């Protein structure tokens, strides 16, 4: 380690937004960064030299991750912990704790803590609100809470790939079987799943979406399956999303971000339809259609071991792939028109179209962010377009730069080759017609459905020999 780094390490550790504690083998705090002090509502000076359980009175030898690591010498990674800090405020953190080992002796432990108190509060609030909305629904009422907003008509696309996708999706809408949608980011996976739900017999029941990448494992588990009071610090009686989505659809986005342990629990629930709230002994039967999305090839995710193979087979009973935008360029024109209309309304504009050079550029750009990127490009450009035409100067800066480097002459070359192809096609059709009519120009013109003079002109243009020229 160079000395500049060594000298500044404390300053560096003080500016990061994670709590860092280092304790010695007897549990005495020897280092405590500024963020940890903020989490615990205590001055670093007050904490140094004191035992960890003095600072965290709600923890015990058994529940403190740091003391467990000192005892076992084994790391504990990404462990969610809810405790009361020095001032009695309830905090939830996700901790990774590793032993500090010298030779074979455990000299102490280092713990890095991420504060998820607010994230947890908000996530649970969302679940409570969803449950609240559901409570008011009597069986005869249609459900108006967690809605899927989009229909098949909202999915713009006339390319062969999109027409096939929509047809397949409509065909499976009424089934209860799980669906896995695979597609790059921004291709419209969520949109498609909304449309499927709205075309299904479950349309009047909830459509609940949960991103599996957004939350730490234990919190996601509580949110999906629910909790019972007292099962862990701060736990309340709370239904999980499976219960809330009963009768409807549960959409698990970025399924490969879910931990493998939780994937195993999910598999069990899907197999028998019985959910057990965290800390509960009894199970509740639910009827939920599980739909999932993934933005890498699911077989690759299985190979990378981020998706369990048994869960993959169970979830991809129906599997749909949304192609990237660069593979369906025929849709670009219609998407542009659609977004211009949408943002004319939203932004009170009167844009009519985009300039032909921008459209040409859009047709050739690779769109790594797919339809979402195209939509934002148009929204951004329309914000600064004053007249009726979106010009290249209105494009978002990063796209404008690529536009300026775009080789329009390549496009000209392609157009030239199109001319050549048409020329060859015309010439070969004329040759075939003349051969069939044994060189009789009048009959060949009738066959080709063009005036005799036109054919005569074309023959001389292409210097095709008629008569006994060997057709």
Binding mask 172-211 for ligand ATP (x = CB under 6 A): -----------x-xxxxxxx--------------------
Of residues 321 and 432, the one with the C-beta less far from Mg ion: 321
Task: Select from 78-86, 155-163, 313-321, 430-438 the region that touches ligand ATP (CB under 6 A).
Answer: 155-163
The whole-angstrom separation of Cα 23 and Cα 80 is 19
Of residues 48 and 163, the one with the C-beta less far from ligand ATP: 163
Task: Select from 101-109, 150-158, 408-416, 458-466 the region that touches ligand ATP (CB under 6 A).
Answer: 150-158
Task: Provide, rounded to whole angstroms, the least separation between the CB of residue 309 and ligand ATP.
Answer: 22
Per CB under 5 A, the list member of 190, 243, 331, 375 interacting with Mg ion is 190
Residue 80 partner contact from Mg ion, ligand ATP, none using kind-dependent CB cut-offs of 5 to 8 Å:
none
Site for ligand ATP in 261-300 (CB under 6 A): 293, 295
Total number of residues binding ligand ATP (CB under 6 A)?
17
| Other beta carbons within 10 Å of 268 | 11
Task: Provide, rounded to whole angstroms, the least separation between the CB of residue 253 and Mg ion.
Answer: 5
Of residues 189 and 308, the one with the C-beta less far from ligand ATP: 189
Of residues 183 and 226, the one with the C-beta less far from ligand ATP: 183
Binding mask 328-347 for ligand ATP (x = CB under 6 A): ----------x---------
Q: Contact at 8 Å (CB) between 183 and 322?
A: yes
Q: Contact at 8 Å (CB) between 180 and 270?
A: no
Of residues 337 and 391, the one with the C-beta less far from ligand ATP: 337
Total number of residues binding Mg ion (CB under 5 A)?
1
Q: Contact at 8 Å (CB) between 92 and 81?
A: yes
Per CB under 6 A, the list member of 47, 112, 155, 301 interacting with ligand ATP is 155
Residue 221 partner contact from ligand ATP, Mg ion, none using kind-dependent CB cut-offs of 5 to 8 Å:
none
Residue 323 as a binder of ligand ATP (CB under 6 A): the answer is no
SS (H, E, C) 25-62: CCCEEEEECHHHHHHHCCCHHHHCCCEHHHHCCCCCCC
Residue 227: which of 240, 212, 214 has the closest Cα?
Answer: 240
Residue 148 as a binder of ligand ATP (CB under 6 A): the answer is no
Task: Provide, rounded to whole angstroms, the least separation between the CB of residue 419 and Mg ion.
Answer: 43
Task: Provide, rounded to whole angstroms, the least separation between the CB of residue 159 and ligand ATP.
Answer: 10
Residue 155 partner contact from Mg ion, ligand ATP, none using kind-dependent CB cut-offs of 5 to 8 Å:
ligand ATP
Residue 289 partner contact from Mg ion, ligand ATP, none using kind-dependent CB cut-offs of 5 to 8 Å:
none
Task: Provide, rounded to whole angstroms, the least separation between the CB of residue 95 and ligand ATP.
Answer: 29
Task: Provide, rounded to whole angstroms, the least separation between the CB of residue 322 and Mg ion.
Answer: 10
**What are 127's strand-pairing partners?**
none
Residue 295 partner contact from Mg ion, ligand ATP, none using kind-dependent CB cut-offs of 5 to 8 Å:
ligand ATP
Residue 372 as a binder of ligand ATP (CB under 6 A): the answer is yes
Residue nearest to ligand ATP (CB): 188
Of residues 55 and 290, the one with the C-beta less far from ligand ATP: 290
Task: Select from 71-79, 185-193, 303-311, 456-464 the region that touches Mg ion (CB under 5 A).
Answer: 185-193
**Using CB under 5 A as the criterion, which residues of the chain lie in contact with Mg ion when the complex forms?**
190
**Using CB under 6 A as the criterion, which residues of the chain lie in contact with ligand ATP when the complex forms?**
155-157, 183, 185-191, 293, 295, 338, 371-372, 375
């Amino acid at each position: 380690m160079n000395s500049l780094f060594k000298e500044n390490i404390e300053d560096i550790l003080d500016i990061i937004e994670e709590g860092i504690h280092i304790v010695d083998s007897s549990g005495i705090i020897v280092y405590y960064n500024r963020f940890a002090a903020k989490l615990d509502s205590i001055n670093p000076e007050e904490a140094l030299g004191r035992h960890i359980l003095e600072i965290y009175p709600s923890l015990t030898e058994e529940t403190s991750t740091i003391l467990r690591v000192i005892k076992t010498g084994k790391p504990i990674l990404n462990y969610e912990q809810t405790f009361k800090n020095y001032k009695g405020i309830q905090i939830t953190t996700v901790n990774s704790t590793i032993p500090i080992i010298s030779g074979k002796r455990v000299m102490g432990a280092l713990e890095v803590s991420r504060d998820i108190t607010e994230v947890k509060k908000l996530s649970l609030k969302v679940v409570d609100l969803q449950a609240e909305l559901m409570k008011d629904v009597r069986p005869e009422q249609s459900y108006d809470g967690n809605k899927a907003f989009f229909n098949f008509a909202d999915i713009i696309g006339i390319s062969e790939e999109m027409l096939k996708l929509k047809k397949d999706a409509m065909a499976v809408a009424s089934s209860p079987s799980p669906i896995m949608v695979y597609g790059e980011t921004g291709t419209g996976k969520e949109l498609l799943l909304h449309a499927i739900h709205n075309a299904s017999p479950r349309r009047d029941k909830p459509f609940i979406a949960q991103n599996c990448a957004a939350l730490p494992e234990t919190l996601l588990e509580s949110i999906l399956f629910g909790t019972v009071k007292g099962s862990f610090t701060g736990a309340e009686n709370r239904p999980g999303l499976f219960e809330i989505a009963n009768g409807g659809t549960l959409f698990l986005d970025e399924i490969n971000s879910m931990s493998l342990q939780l994937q195993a629990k999910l598999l069990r629930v899907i197999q028998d339809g019985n959910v057990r709230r965290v800390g509960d002994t009894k199970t509740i039967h639910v009827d939920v259609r599980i739909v999932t999305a993934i933005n890498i090839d699911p077989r690759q995710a299985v190979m990378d071991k981020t998706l369990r193979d048994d869960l993959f087979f169970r979830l991809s009973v129906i599997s749909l792939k949304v192609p990237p935008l660069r593979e369906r360029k025929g849709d670009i024109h219609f998407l542009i028109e659609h977004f211009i209309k949408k943002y004319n309304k939203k932004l009170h504009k009167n844009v009519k179209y985009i300039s032909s050079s921008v459209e040409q550029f859009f047709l050739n750009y690779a769109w790594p962010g797919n339809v979402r990127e195209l939509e934002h490009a148009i929204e951004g450009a329309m914000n600064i377009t004053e007249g009726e035409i979106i010009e290249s100067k209105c494009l978002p800066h990063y796209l404008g730069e690529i536009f300026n480097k775009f080789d329009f002459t390549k496009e000209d070359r392609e157009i030239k080759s199109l001319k050549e192809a048409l020329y060859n096609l015309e010439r070969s059709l004329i040759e075939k017609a003349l051969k069939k009519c044994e060189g009789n120009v009048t009959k060949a013109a009738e066959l080709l459905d063009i005036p005799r003079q036109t054919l005569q002109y074309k023959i001389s243009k292409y210097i095709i020999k008629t008569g006994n020229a060997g057709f």
